[in-house]
């Protein structure tokens, strides 16, 4: 076994000459290009290979060490990994930034352009997928033996553009170019069956699938900080079982011989673009089973390579299910244990439950997956039978079986299956976990009170502070050293400096640098001009009614009216920046985008708004854009209807980068408020309990609108087509919905939102006070590192060790 010091030695700090030679080598021998003919992408691939080479040794070393020490392995199963670009992350992790900048410059290649040439790996929709990516980073940094398992989608999340202010979607195509970070593992392949029939012979069941596709693994090393530990992300791609069929070929039917299996071609083709809504499509169920079954086959194979008793699985492994998407893992593992390893049902179920843990990410009913039993029975007949058995078995073991059935109204409720099949079930913020116990899982929680635990989300400080915010990174390093990168609580050393005028000025200067960087970018990409001295008021997240982008744009319109009425008032100059995609089938969300763009166009062309109010909505918000926007934010909009945002993670990224939050008492906003202090956050609106009570009492938006003339006026303007003269009726339904239903309580919270925004204007004019609060936000956000979250899972859920 190699010592830790030895592992670090294996990441040679290559001298510049060796790095340069390695890049030249890869350009020539891996990419097959001469420097004189090389494109920017060729150079980028060569640099990526040279950097990748440096993480191979620690990667092998980690694998070896975990194996020889027989460490408990953690498997993170996630339908989504929203990774973003990898090259710059790897370079900064290994501390090679300065060296590479100069080497690449000497080749006469633009270093910044080379880094941004990489397409984002967008294998996720939003928070859930990005959380998985942050967890991968943290699991390597804290030295936990972990594997991520997911799907290698050929097409990630669609590209968004605006046509006339409407969202248009285009297929994303990240694999058109060589993806230099992965290794194909043709030897790690598993046949995955679908459909067919089950024959039963006594206690023994045999499933004969009608169709089989191959799952082929692609591995990406995930180096932790300074490359001292490196785990693996294994993504599965579907391939036909036979590329070519000789039988029809011999008959002379050449087309049929080459016809690939339709299922194999489609299963890993595209990411479902829905965030927090379950689509209920057959292909989606097949995707879920495909990656879950391949991962479990791989996990059991690895276990049996050096153990012989499957009953000991729970001591050796822990599996985390990221939402219910891989919840089929429970019957699948039971199936493997029964049908392949001869265990009786009850033993198999207890072993499986000993390994499985489930994270819930939402309480919204439309997001909870349910599959019709006939669909489940047709696609996965053996699993359908096992689900019934699990349901009966569980029902027999409890007092009030009728309230906790997995099978309900001809559907399989995947949340209940995941809960019943798991050792631990966790929520992602303190409030969310409480609400889980009181609502969706009330009955199950009462039956199994030890099962539900909380693990408040976190974000990786490497990507979301060190890498995306070089200006603040240097200031922090100069002031408190670099230990904060792996121990984010060290940011507390900044606390006394919040009152230090010189430090505050430097902190403000870093923010200014980031705002100018963003302004430059938007100048180039959109041709618009932003005044970097204005307040950058930012809302970036998926477009969803519960997130209430609508309330934000209504506030902008009300502000427009108010400024026109009283232009000489001391308004804080504001630039409201929006970013986010709507699910392509989500009509209301797409209409909200159009409304933001319509109101934006009206405001932006009004000369009276110059220097006072501007609306900016750059299209195609993604991880890379987040890396530009977050460090430039002054104000972070976290304004969901209380009780609906499970946690939020953008809220954490913005606050740790020194943005002040305007937010409701929802998700992790509550814990952020407790951390940064009530003087350094702007909280408004109904609480989750008040939302529930208001709803129970029969909510009437009309009375709130009548009591708030600002809101009444803008709704009147919108309804009469003031922002849509080309189609005055465009927003009739939207306004009617707000006036008569308003499920997300925009009207109930509007006055409170307006008032807090006025306070924010006042606070903005006190520049010292604002910067002091900004420093305190950064200083007190250390707890929201995903390193802390992962240590929490390792300790409370996985019972697994960490090397660092």
Active site residues: 361, 541-542, 547, 649, 653
Q: Which residue stretches of 173-312 are H helix?
A: 246-251, 254-258, 262-266, 282-304
Interaction pattern, residues 659-678, with ligand Z16; x per rule: CB under 6 A = --------x-----------
Please report how many Cα atoms fall inside a 13 Å half-sphere around the Cα of residue 674, on the Cβ side.
Answer: 11
Sequence-distant (≥ 6) Cβ neighbours of residue 747 within 8 angstroms: 701, 702, 704, 705, 708, 711, 738, 739
Nearer to ligand Z16, 648 or 701 (CB): 648
Beta carbons within 10 angstroms of residue 770's beta carbon = 22
Taking the C-alpha atoms of residue 199 and residue 197, their distance in angstroms, rounded to an integer, is 7
Taking the C-alpha atoms of residue 551 and residue 641, their distance in angstroms, rounded to an integer, is 10
CB of 45 to ligand Z16, least distance (A): 31
- Which of 189, 361, 413, 555 is the binder for ligand Z16 (CB under 6 A)? 361
Site for ligand Z16 in 696-735 (CB under 6 A): none
Question: Does the protein bind ligand Z16 through residue 632 (CB under 6 A)?
Answer: no
Question: Does the protein bind ligand Z16 through residue 125 (CB under 6 A)?
Answer: yes
Nearer to ligand Z16, 592 or 776 (CB): 592
DSSP state of 270: B
Interaction pattern, residues 285-324, with ligand Z16; x per rule: CB under 6 A = --------------------------------------x-
Beta carbons within 10 angstroms of residue 34's beta carbon = 10
CB of 669 to ligand Z16, least distance (A): 10
- Which of 71, 649, 655, 657 is the binder for ligand Z16 (CB under 6 A)? 649
- Which of 138, 167, 276, 320 is the binder for ligand Z16 (CB under 6 A)? 276
Q: From 41-49, 83-91, 122-130, 467-475, give the range in contact with ligand Z16 by CB under 6 A.
A: 122-130
CB of 539 to ligand Z16, least distance (A): 14
Q: From 38-46, 92-100, 126-134, 671-679, give the range in contact with ligand Z16 by CB under 6 A.
A: 126-134
CB of 316 to ligand Z16, least distance (A): 27
Using an 8 Å Cβ cutoff, are 430 and 643 in contact? no
CB of 268 to ligand Z16, least distance (A): 18
Nearer to ligand Z16, 506 or 653 (CB): 653
Q: Of 190, 209, 189, which is closest to residue 199 (Cα–Cα)?
A: 209
Taking the C-alpha atoms of residue 504 and residue 372, their distance in angstroms, rounded to an integer, is 59
Query: How many residues are there in the chain?
Result: 804
Q: Of 310, 393, 404, which is closest to residue 345 (Cα–Cα)?
A: 393
Q: From 350-358, 375-383, 408-416, 646-654, give the range in contact with ligand Z16 by CB under 6 A.
A: 646-654
Question: Does the protein bind ligand Z16 through residue 648 (CB under 6 A)?
Answer: yes
Q: From 298-306, 345-353, 639-647, 736-744, give the range in contact with ligand Z16 by CB under 6 A.
A: 639-647
CB of 119 to ligand Z16, least distance (A): 21
Q: From 230-238, 460-468, 644-652, 779-787, give the range in contact with ligand Z16 by CB under 6 A.
A: 644-652
- Which of 118, 645, 671, 787 is the binder for ligand Z16 (CB under 6 A)? 645
Q: Which two tokens stand for residue 661?
A: 């939050």
Nearer to ligand Z16, 335 or 653 (CB): 653
Beta carbons within 10 angstroms of residue 141's beta carbon = 28
Interaction pattern, residues 376-415, with ligand Z16; x per rule: CB under 6 A = ----------------------------------------
Q: From 39-47, 359-367, 486-494, 593-601, give the range in contact with ligand Z16 by CB under 6 A.
A: 359-367
CB of 275 to ligand Z16, least distance (A): 4
Using an 8 Å Cβ cutoff, are 790 and 135 in contact? yes
Site for ligand Z16 in 331-350 (CB under 6 A): none
Strand-by-strand arrangement of the 613-616 sheet? 613-616, 574-579, 535-540, 635-638, 660-663, 682-683
CB of 172 to ligand Z16, least distance (A): 16
Question: Does the protein bind ligand Z16 through residue 646 (CB under 6 A)?
Answer: yes
Question: Does the protein bind ligand Z16 through residue 456 (CB under 6 A)?
Answer: no
Sequence-distant (≥ 6) Cβ neighbours of residue 366 within 8 angstroms: 276, 277, 278
Nearer to ligand Z16, 131 or 485 (CB): 131
Beta carbons within 10 angstroms of residue 727's beta carbon = 10
Nearer to ligand Z16, 123 or 329 (CB): 123
Q: Which residues pair with 75 in a beta bridge?
A: 147, 319
Q: Which two tokens stand for residue 57?
A: 């040794």
- Which of 88, 137, 275, 598 is the binder for ligand Z16 (CB under 6 A)? 275
364 SS3 class: coil
Q: From 93-101, 140-148, 412-420, 645-653, give the range in contact with ligand Z16 by CB under 6 A.
A: 645-653
**Phi, psi angle pair for 255, to nearest 5°:** -65, -50
Q: Of 35, 43, 90, which is closest to residue 226 (Cα–Cα)?
A: 90
- Which of 237, 287, 455, 457 is the binder for ligand Z16 (CB under 6 A)? 457
Site for ligand Z16 in 420-449 (CB under 6 A): 428
Question: Does the protein bind ligand Z16 through residue 66 (CB under 6 A)?
Answer: no
Sequence-distant (≥ 6) Cβ neighbours of residue 664 within 8 angstroms: 638, 639, 640, 641, 642, 683, 684, 685, 686, 749
Site for ligand Z16 in 156-215 (CB under 6 A): none
Site for ligand Z16 in 541-600 (CB under 6 A): none
Taking the C-alpha atoms of residue 85 and residue 88, their distance in angstroms, rounded to an integer, is 7
Q: From 16-24, 557-565, 574-582, 640-648, give the range in contact with ligand Z16 by CB under 6 A.
A: 640-648
CB of 168 to ligand Z16, least distance (A): 22
Nearer to ligand Z16, 361 or 704 (CB): 361
- Which of 367, 554, 718, 756 is the binder for ligand Z16 (CB under 6 A)? 367
CB of 319 to ligand Z16, least distance (A): 18
Instruction: Rounding to the nearest 10 degrees, give the CA dihedral for residues 209, 214, 215, 220.
Output: 170
C-alpha distances in Å from residue 233, one per residue of 75, 374, 473: 10, 34, 28
Residue 200: Cβ-neighbour burial (10 angstroms; 0-12, 13-18, 19+): exposed
Closest residue to bound ligand Z16 by CB: 127
Question: Does the protein bind ligand Z16 through residue 614 (CB under 6 A)?
Answer: no
Question: Does the protein bind ligand Z16 through residue 126 (CB under 6 A)?
Answer: yes
CB of 637 to ligand Z16, least distance (A): 14
Q: Which two tokens stand for residue 571?
A: 């308004």
Q: From 343-351, 647-655, 708-716, 769-777, give the range in contact with ligand Z16 by CB under 6 A.
A: 647-655
Question: Does the protein bind ligand Z16 through residue 362 (CB under 6 A)?
Answer: yes
Question: Does the protein bind ligand Z16 through residue 370 (CB under 6 A)?
Answer: no
Q: Assign residue 799 a region: left if phi > 0, alpha if psi is -120 to 50, beta otherwise? A: left
| 3-class secondary structure per residue, 702-757 | HHHHHCCHHHHHHHHHHHCCCCCCCCCCCCHHHHHHHHHCCCCCHHHHHHHHHHHH
Question: Does the protein bind ligand Z16 through residue 11 (CB under 6 A)?
Answer: no
Q: Using CB under 6 A, count the residues that bind ligand Z16.
A: 19
Taking the C-alpha atoms of residue 636 and residue 139, their distance in angstroms, rounded to an integer, is 28
Site for ligand Z16 in 235-274 (CB under 6 A): none
Angle between helices 767-780 and 669-676 (to 10 degrees): 110
Question: Does the protein bind ligand Z16 through residue 788 (CB under 6 A)?
Answer: no
Taking the C-alpha atoms of residue 234 and residue 147, their distance in angstroms, rounded to an integer, is 7
Residue 560: Cβ-neighbour burial (10 angstroms; 0-12, 13-18, 19+): buried
- Which of 140, 647, 661, 786 is the binder for ligand Z16 (CB under 6 A)? 647
- Contacting positions for ligand Z16 (CB under 6 A): 125-128, 131, 275-276, 323, 361-362, 367, 428, 457, 645-649, 667
């Amino acid at each position: 076994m190699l010592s830790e010091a030895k592992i670090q030695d294996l990441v040679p700090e290559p001298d510049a000459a060796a790095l340069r030679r390695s890049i030249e080598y890869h350009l020539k021998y891996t990419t097959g290009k001469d420097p004189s003919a090389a494109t920017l992408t060729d150079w980028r691939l060569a640099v990526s290979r040279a950097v990748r080479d440096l993480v191979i040794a620690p990667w092998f070393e980690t694998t070896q060490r975990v194996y020889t020490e027989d460490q408990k392995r953690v498997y993170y199963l996630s339908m989504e990994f929203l990774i973003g670009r990898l090259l710059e992350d790897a370079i900064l992790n290994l501390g090679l930034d300065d060296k590479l900048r100069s080497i690449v410059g000497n080749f006469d290649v633009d270093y910044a352009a080379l880094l941004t040439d990489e397409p984002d790996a967008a294998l996720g929709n939003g928070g859930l997928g990005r959380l998985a990516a942050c967890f991968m980073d943290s699991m390597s940094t804290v030295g936990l033996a972990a594997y991520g398992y997911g799907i290698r989608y050929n097409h990630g999340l669609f590209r968004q553009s605006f046509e006339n202010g409407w969202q248009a979607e285009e297929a994303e195509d990240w694999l058109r170019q060589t993806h230099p970070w992965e290794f194909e593992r043709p030897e790690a392949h598993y046949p995955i069956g679908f459909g067919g029939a089950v024959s039963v012979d006594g206690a023994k069941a045999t499933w004969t699938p009608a169709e089989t596709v191959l799952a082929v693994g692609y591995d990406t090393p995930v180096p932790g900080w300074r490359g001292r530990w490196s785990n693996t992300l294994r993504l599965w791609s579907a391939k036909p079982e036979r590329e070519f069929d000789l039988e029809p070929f011999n008959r002379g039917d050449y087309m049929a011989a080459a016809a690939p299996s339709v299922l194999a071609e489609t299963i890993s083709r595209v990411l479902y673009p829905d965030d927090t809504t379950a689509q209920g499509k057959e292909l989606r169920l097949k995707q879920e089973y495909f990656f879950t079954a391949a991962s479990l086959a791989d996990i059991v194979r690895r276990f049996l390579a050096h153990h012989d008793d499957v009953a000991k699985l729970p001591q050796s492994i822990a599996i985390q299910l990221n939402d219910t998407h891989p919840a089929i893992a429970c019957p699948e593992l039971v199936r493997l244990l029964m049908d392949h390893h001869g265990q009786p049902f009850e033993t198999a179920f207890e072993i499986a439950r000993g390994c499985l843990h489930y994270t819930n990410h939402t309480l919204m009913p439309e997001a909870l997956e349910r599959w019709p039993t006939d669909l489940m029975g047709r696609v996965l007949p053996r699993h359908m039978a096992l689900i019934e058995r699990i349901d009966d078995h569980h029902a027999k073991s409890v007092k009030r079986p009728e309230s906790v059935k997995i099978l309900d109204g001809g559907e399989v409720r995947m949340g209940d299956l995941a809960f019943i099949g798991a050792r631990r079930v966790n929520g992602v913020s303190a409030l969310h976990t409480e609400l889980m116990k009181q609502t969706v899982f009330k009955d199950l929680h009462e039956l199994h009170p030890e099962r539900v635990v909380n693990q408040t989300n976190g974000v990786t400080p490497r990507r979301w502070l060190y890498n995306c915010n070089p200006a603040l990174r240097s200031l922090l390093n100069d002031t408190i050293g670099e230990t904060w990168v792996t121990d984010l609580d060290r940011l507390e050393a900044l606390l006394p400096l919040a009152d230090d005028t010189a430090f505050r000025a430097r902190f403000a200067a870093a923010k200014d640098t980031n705002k100018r960087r963003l302004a430059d970018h938007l100048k180039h990409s959109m041709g618009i001009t932003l005044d970097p001295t204005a307040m950058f008021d930012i809302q970036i997240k998926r477009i969803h009614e519960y997130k209430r982008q609508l309330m934000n744009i209504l506030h902008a319109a009300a502000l427009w009216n108010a400024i026109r009425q009283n232009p000489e008032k001391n308004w804080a100059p504001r630039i409201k920046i929006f970013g986010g995609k709507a699910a392509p089938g989500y009509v209301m969300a797409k209409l909200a985008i159009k409304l933001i763009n319509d109101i934006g166009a009206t405001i932006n062309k009004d000369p009276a708004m110059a220097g006072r109010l501007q609306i900016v909505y750059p299209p195609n918000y993604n991880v890379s854009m987040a890396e530009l926007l977050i460090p430039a934010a002054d104000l972070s909009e976290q304004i969901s209807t209380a009780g609906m945002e499970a946690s939020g993670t953008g809220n954490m990224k913005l606050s740790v980068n020194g943005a002040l939050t305007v937010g409701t008492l929802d998700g992790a906003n509550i814990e952020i408020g407790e951390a940064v202090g009530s003087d350094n956050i702007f909280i408004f609106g109904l609480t989750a309990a008040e939302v529930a009570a208001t709803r129970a009492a029969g909510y009437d938006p009309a009375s709130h609108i009548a009591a708030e003339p600002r809101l009444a006026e803008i709704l009147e303007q919108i309804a009469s087509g003031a922002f849509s003269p080309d189609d005055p009726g465009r927003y009739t339904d939207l306004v009617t919905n707000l006036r008569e239903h308003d499920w997300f309580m925009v009207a109930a919270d509007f006055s409170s939102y307006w008032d807090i925004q006025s306070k924010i204007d006042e606070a903005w004019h006190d520049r010292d006070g604002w910067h002091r609060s900004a420093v305190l936000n950064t200083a007190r956000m250390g707890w929201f590192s995903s390193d802390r979250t992962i240590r929490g899972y390792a300790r409370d859920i996985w019972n697994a060790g960490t090397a660092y």
